[in-house]
Amino acid sequence: MISLQHFLFIAAVLFCLGIYAVITRKNAIQVLIGIELMINASILNLVAFAKYDVINNNGQLFALFVIVLAAASVAVGLVIILNFFKRVKTIDPNKANSLRG
Amino acid sequence: MVEQIVFYVFAAIAILSGVYVVASQNLVRSVFMFFVTLLSVAGLYVFALADFVALTQIVIYVGGVLVMLLFVFMLSSKDSLDNIVNLKKEALSANRIPATIITIALLVILIYAILLVDFEQLDWIKSNKLLIDKAQTSNVHNIGVNIMGRFLLPFELISILLMMTLVSAAHLARKEPNND
């Protein structure tokens, strides 16, 4: 029996890796990958707690919904990246400064 | 014992490949390494008795999201790849030192918070631990009943949301007729 804390440690490490990617990368696709890593860490938390929820399975159901929402957000995000690339000819998020006041 | 060894092997693969994804300077390699991370995280789900979520993760993430990522990457990065090859290594990623400080601080806070709680003593975990051994059947049946019962409204809402995503993605990605 693996204790709940080890799942949470792994999820914490994955979440921090995702944050590091989001802060440092200069490539919109890698920023998106960082966001996906963070979403995966949170799904791992949900699933780890759902291990002890045998009757209702609330955590696993929420994990399924989160996976679907993440897929939808990635679809829209990638289309936005494509549009951005069409306009600016780069996918560096630092170059997206035409809305700066 | 075997279960624990396999669990820690999966955990090590997930964390090491995650580090590679984050730290690699090669974009294509990091996208492909993300496959490995997602697959090993799906392996971890199995250890939390969530086999259906693990299968969903493999089908949706590895089959859908990553293929989409690679697709956009190949579409968009002909020029940016050439630029990146010419750049120096330091120029590829910025804010490294502040990012490291923020990340390590957050990790320390998270681990401290996790260590603070004694999960074995929580009431609902204690009462449910007895049920885990009895529940031998697969929980796919249970998930199906719950989705069609208590979670029917979110389930229908998510189908509408997916429809909206499909329409908006197709609308945003189209070629503008005026420019041609």
- Asked whether the beta carbons of residue B76 and residue A5 sit closer than 8 angstroms, the reply is no
- The band of A4, judged by pLDDT with boundaries at 50, 70 and 90, is confident
Test mutation, A10, A39, A81, A82, chain B, max B CBs within 10 A:
A10
Question: What CATH number has the domain bearing residue B66?
Answer: 1.20.120.1200
The mean pLDDT of B12-29, rounded to a whole number, is: 89
Type of residue found at B126 = K
Cα gap A93→B14, rounded to integer Å: 27
Q: Is residue B33 part of a domain?
A: yes
Q: In which domain, by residue range, is B135 found?
A: 120-180
Cα gap A82→A76, rounded to integer Å: 10
- Interface contact B2, partner A, CB < 8 A: no
Q: Is residue B63 domain-shared with residue B22, that is, in the same domain? A: yes
The mean pLDDT of A64-72, rounded to a whole number, is: 92
- The band of A2, judged by pLDDT with boundaries at 50, 70 and 90, is confident
Sequence-distant (≥ 6) Cβ neighbours of residue B15 within 8 angstroms: A10, A13, A14, A17
Q: Is residue B113 part of a domain?
A: no
Q: Tell me which chain B residues have a C-beta less than 8 angstroms from the C-beta of A96.
A: none
Q: Tell me which chain B residues have a C-beta less than 8 angstroms from the C-beta of A25.
A: 93
Task: Count how many domains chain B has.
Answer: 2
Q: Are A61 and A32 in contact (CB under 8 A)?
A: no
* Per-residue pLDDT at B74 exceeds 90: no
Sequence-distant (≥ 6) Cβ neighbours of residue B13 within 8 angstroms: B36, B40
- Interface contact B141, partner A, CB < 8 A: no
pLDDT in tens, B148-174: 989 999 999 999 999 999 999 888 878
pLDDT in tens, A21-42: 998 888 888 889 999 999 999 9
Half-sphere exposure of B86 (CA within 13 A, CB side): 4
Half-sphere exposure of B21 (CA within 13 A, CB side): 33
DSSP state of B176: P
Query: What is the total residue count of chain B?
Result: 180
Q: Is residue B72 part of a domain?
A: yes
Cα gap B60→B105, rounded to integer Å: 32
Q: Is residue B133 domain-shared with residue B83, that is, in the same domain? A: no
Tally Cβ neighbours within 10 Å of residue B37. Answer: 27
* Per-residue pLDDT at B101 exceeds 70: yes
- Interface contact B21, partner A, CB < 8 A: yes
Domains and CATH numbers, chain A: 4-89 (1.10.287.3510)
Question: Which position has the higher pLDDT, B82 or A26?
Answer: A26
- The band of B134, judged by pLDDT with boundaries at 50, 70 and 90, is low
